[in-house]
Amino acid sequence: MSDLSIRIEGRAGRITLTRPKALNALSYEMCLAIEDALDAWTDDDNVALVIIDAEGDKAFCAGGDIQELYSRGRAGDVAYGQNFWRDEYRLNAKIAEYPKPYVAFMQGFTMGGGVGISCHGSHRVVGDSSRISMPECGIGLVPDVGGSLLLARAPGRLGEYLGCTGARMGPGDALFAGFADHYIPEANWPALIDALCQCGDTAPLLAAALPAPDAPLAAQQPAIDGFFSGETLLDILNALRADLGDFAADTLRSLARNSPLSMAATVEMIHRLRGPAADIRRALELEYRFTHRAQDKSDFLEGIRAAVIDKDRSPNWQHSLDAPPQMAATQMLLPLGADKLTFDTKGDMS
């Protein structure tokens, strides 16, 4: 596949995303190919660890390739998107549960679907250019690909803040929020990857890692915890509106750009997943309740139109921030019955 290079080098299974001109956006076919490789390597004694990286300096993976989802959804074919998300989420769970070390090198933009194929790995590497985010509320979706679990596990109320605003994390913030493990300058990555391939062990990662850079989120966390401690999106908005400071004003501007339905559902999802009982499968099953319904009941198609198709940046959301749609958000997260996410069968890509 021209979008992906899959091979074995030394003791390592190598996966490289090779569509840098598209910011290595993740297609349906790429998801299935990555899963096939992981399946093949699980019981292969010649493969001691897996390394995933990407060509280009702008992005590891800037998200899922949503053009096809949009065109199919507009034509009334919601099954394509439902199958895509079902298969993508199965891959996310497989990465989180993989029995061998899974090492991800995340330069530049790592967003949405890119988070799903990297930040659930056992060893996650960032460099100075790394910019990690979950921006789905800006396109009428919710943080998915297991990102809701990462947000729920972030310190304090950073999860609600990052999920609702889509704020980007540099390397220090990514480490602080739990989206990365090691800071290693990108100039050192090629030699490090060679060493990993040769030895088949993750020890070179620890030897190469440097102290974490500054994390602006750490300084902002007291304010974030105060503003985002409410039970619902309305509580959060009320707290922000009652404050006259710059941080509250900037945050309100960020929230005003995003789908009220998506943000209300995001807050509810994170609250449900906060606690020791939550795991990757629980998070993905909850996310799938929203995405299964997304094409005909949420702001998703309108969000893609405004951001990607027409690029007018003027989405016509279903709801207003003056009356956040809590009931509608809860309805988007109701159980799906027979359509519940499972992790055992592949869908139909046609």
**Catalytic residue list contains 136:** yes
Query: What whole-number distance in Å separates Cα of residue 15 and Cα of residue 17?
Result: 7
Query: What whole-number distance in Å separates Cα of residue 10 and Cα of residue 296?
Result: 47
Query: What whole-number distance in Å separates Cα of residue 103 and Cα of residue 105?
Result: 7
**Catalytic residue list contains 226:** no
| 24 and 76 Cβ atoms separated by less than 8 Å | no
For every residue of 55-103, DSSP letters joined together read SSSSEEE--B--HHHHHHHHTT-HHHHHHHHHHHHHHHHHHHT-SS-EE
Q: 12 is written with which tokens?
A: 């390592």
| 80 and 95 Cβ atoms separated by less than 8 Å | no
> Which three-class secondary structure string do you get for 284-328?
HHHHHHHHHHHHHHCCHHHHHHHHHHCCCCCCCCCCCCCCCCHHH
What strands, in cross-sheet order, belong to the sheet with 131-133? 59-61, 109-111, 131-133
**Catalytic residue list contains 287:** no
Helices (H), the chain: 28-42, 67-74, 78-96, 113-116, 147-153, 158-165, 171-177, 189-199, 203-208, 216-227, 233-241, 246-256, 260-273, 280-297, 300-304, 326-332
102 beta partners: 50
Query: What whole-number distance in Å separates Cα of residue 7 and Cα of residue 342?
Result: 29
Q: 264 is written with which tokens?
A: 């209300």
**Catalytic residue list contains 194:** no
Q: Which of 64, 127, 138, 170 is catalytic?
A: 64
In Å, what is the CA distance from 222 to each residue of 17, 75, 108, 128?
38, 46, 28, 25
Q: Which of 35, 87, 144, 287 is catalytic?
A: 144
Strands 102-106 and 12-17: unpaired
Q: Which of 35, 65, 88, 136 is catalytic?
A: 136
Q: Which of 63, 112, 113, 163 is catalytic?
A: 113
By annotation, the residues acting in catalysis are 64, 113, 136, 144
